Structure 1
Amino acid sequence: MNVIQESLGQINHQPVFSFTLKNDLGLEVTVINYGCIITKIMAPDQNGQFENIVLGHDTLEEYMEDSSFLGAIVGRVAGRIQGGSFELDGKTYTLAQNNHPNHLHGGMNGFNKVVWDAEKLEDGVCFSYTSKDGEEGYPGNLAMKVIYKLTNENELSIQYEAQTDQKTPVTVTNHSYFNLSGDLRRDVLNHTLTLKSDKFLELDQTFIPTGHLADVKGTPFDFTSEGLIKTGAVSEHPQNVLVGNGYDHPFVLNENHEHEVILKDLESGRTLTVETDEPAVVVYSGNSLSSEGSFRGVPSRKYLGICLETQGFPDAIHQPHFPSIVLDEGQKYSSVTKYKFGLIER
């Protein structure tokens, strides 16, 4: 196992570094301490050819200008909060409506837009950041840690830890866009997905959960058996059409740490298995990716990547029957998501 640290530059006089985690099998994961962004994952295909399997950029400036949360840690609260406000213990907190009329992924300068402290580990890197009381409108000083570790079994784990000195909502996720074809040679419509999920959260016109847990059976949201991402893109189901012809929906997980999410690209032979202790995964099929710009020379377009955002239920702060995302003073927030990179058995 090797961890290589390199300097990328500075943001507001704060040094920014990249950390490349490389295991004994040659798999590489590169992360930076700006936004805890995963910039590159080099994984082998069925012929042993190593290629990048996430959307990313080569320069720090491109990440600073990015508005797609590319590869980043998002929070304090991943997903949308209706109306950009919430109430806790009788007090109303007002947040940025950066996805009008709602609040999205922590606000204008959420976790994805700050420089984190970094500590190199033997098998990874630990990022830490204290979000001050009132930052982006949230209450309490929140001490946050994000730990990336890579194993020789081609498994990347992301561990989240946090503590607060005041009651506050917290649910954090990684927003990587995966594309298992390798170096973005194809879009993800012919990727297949398997999900251990019988229900998804129905969305309203502003992408806020209505509170209704809809059955996947008989719909394009049924991935209990392996299905194509393309299914949602061509579907006339109102929920698929609503989000731009595809998926941008939270799926309720039936199990945890039991191969609950499996993504495959049949042509390259690559697989990605995601396991988590979170109650949901938001599947976003890149429906809103801009047709402007590029990723390392590949023009941006719809469906070029797919996000698998393990997290608490979006807008849980307004939905009493959803699992709570409120962290109490002195309570420890802890969550682990693991990404196992493999190959289809032929």
Structure 2
Amino acid sequence: MSITIRSFGHTREGRPVTLLRMENAAGACAEVLDYGARLRSMVVPDRDGKPRDVCLGFDSVAEYEANGDYLGALVGRCANRIRGGRFRLGGREYALTVNQGANHLHGGARGFDRYVWEHRLEGESVVFSRTSPAGEEGYPGLLRVEAAYTLTEDNALCLRLTAEADEDTVVNLTGHAYWNLNGQGAGEVGEHTLSIDAIAFTELAEDGCPNGTIASVVGTPFDLREPRALREGWDTTHPQIRLGGGYDHNWILRGDGLREAAVLRAPESGISLHLSTTQPGLQVYTANGLSARQGKSGASYVPRGAVALEGQGFPNAVNEPTFPTVVLAAGGIYQQEIVFAFRHD
């Protein structure tokens, strides 16, 4: 396992950005940036041993700054949506930045994805850290966050997330990588198959937040207990699919602790992605709103040209008392893990 470091340019504010490249003996490599503690590239072998970069990204800081799709980013303080940008905690109402319609999304107008994080090497891991001051985007309490990336010798990328706060606050962190297992820029991912170990999902209301209903997947396009091509689901006229413009929903994962939650496979390349997580939910987003644009090395990105698999707490959980809590108590420790393990059939 080796880690190399190089400059990746500067932000518009003049802050230097660093790229850190992890490579294992099998030839797999992952590139991460301290801008947004994000994953820029993930190269793994296909069934014929040919290396393919399966993660969408850009070639410059300016492109990341100009685009709002969170490509590869670590999003927070609170991933996903908070209805109306408001919640009550400790008898007080907090008003957050509203940045998607009437809702707060992925930490607000300047979430964690828009900052240069500190970085350090710790053994074979790259560890990013930052301190989010009290009041940032409207959140209570000072929050210290770390995101550690580790590439294993058997082609798994592990993301470990920790945080602690000096006041009760809301925390829900996740990685927002976009995957195309045929290679970034290889067109729509409709033929990719996806299976999820879940028997229920959180229904959406018109505003994109959950409506509070825990719905069974049985008899719906959300039944992915057996592998199903993504196109089979996003081409249906199911009301929930129409609301999301495709898949943009949270599945309620079975079990506790670190367990395998989902498997994404690409028949063409033979690459499979096995996702394990400690989180209670998995948001699946089939890049329905991704605009046509140029990505790394001139690759063409298109709507539905990737899928994001975001292990996280439920959307709007802070306002839904029946959902698992996303409140971090003062002095408590937030710890979550997401593992992306790559294999080939």
- The TM-score by the shorter chain falls in which range? over 0.9
Alignment of 1:9-28 (within 5 A): 9-11=9-11, 12-28=13-29
Q: For residue 185 of structure 2, what is the aligned residue in structure 1?
A: 184
Q: For residue 253 of structure 1, what is the aligned residue in structure 2?
A: 253
TM, length-normalised to structure 2: 0.97
Q: For residue 240 of structure 2, what is the aligned residue in structure 1?
A: 239
Q: For residue 110 of structure 1, what is the aligned residue in structure 2?
A: 111
8 Å CA contact 2:160, 2:335 repeated in 1: yes
Q: For residue 268 of structure 1, what is the aligned residue in structure 2?
A: 269
Partners of 1:259 and 1:332 lie apart in 2 by: 23
RMSD of aligned Cα (Å):
1.0
Alignment of 1:39-118 (within 5 A): 39-118=40-119
Alignment of 1:212-231 (within 5 A): 212-231=213-232
Identical aligned pairs, as a percentage? 37
Question: Structure 2: which amino acid aligns with 1:8?
Answer: F
Q: For residue 295 of structure 1, what is the aligned residue in structure 2?
A: 295
Partners of 1:78 and 1:182 lie apart in 2 by: 26
Q: For residue 169 of structure 1, what is the aligned residue in structure 2?
A: 170
Partners of 1:182 and 1:76 lie apart in 2 by: 30
Partners of 1:37 and 1:64 lie apart in 2 by: 13
Partners of 2:162 and 2:180 lie apart in 1 by: 28
Partners of 1:124 and 1:86 lie apart in 2 by: 36
Partners of 2:127 and 2:109 lie apart in 1 by: 24
8 Å CA contact 1:34, 1:113 repeated in 2: yes
Question: Structure 2: which amino acid aligns with 1:165?
Answer: D
Question: Structure 1: which amino acid aligns with 2:108?
Answer: G
Partners of 2:15 and 2:98 lie apart in 1 by: 28
What secondary structure is seen at the aligned counterpart in 2 of 1:239? helix
- State the number of aligned residues: 342
Question: Structure 2: which amino acid aligns with 1:264?
Answer: R
8 Å CA contact 1:2, 1:122 repeated in 2: no
Partners of 1:250 and 1:87 lie apart in 2 by: 23
Cα deviation per residue 1:11-60 (whole Å; 9 max; x = unaligned)? 33432100001011010000000001111111111110001101111111
What secondary structure is seen at the aligned counterpart in 2 of 1:240? helix
Partners of 2:185 and 2:272 lie apart in 1 by: 15
Distance 1:127-1:202 versus aligned 2 partners, 3 A rule: same
Gaps of 5+ in 1: none
Q: For residue 30 of structure 2, what is the aligned residue in structure 1?
A: 29
8 Å CA contact 1:3, 1:122 repeated in 2: no
Q: Which runs of 4+ in 1 moved over 6 A?
A: none
Question: Structure 2: which amino acid aligns with 1:53?
Answer: V
Q: For residue 6 of structure 2, what is the aligned residue in structure 1?
A: 6
Question: Structure 2: which amino acid aligns with 1:147?
Answer: A
What secondary structure is seen at the aligned counterpart in 1 of 2:137? helix
Partners of 1:46 and 1:121 lie apart in 2 by: 32
**91-100 or 189-198, which moves further after superposition?**
91-100
Gaps of 5+ in 2: none
What secondary structure is seen at the aligned counterpart in 1 of 2:84? helix
The answer to whether residue 119 in structure 2 is matched with residue 139 in structure 1 is: no
TM, length-normalised to structure 1: 0.97
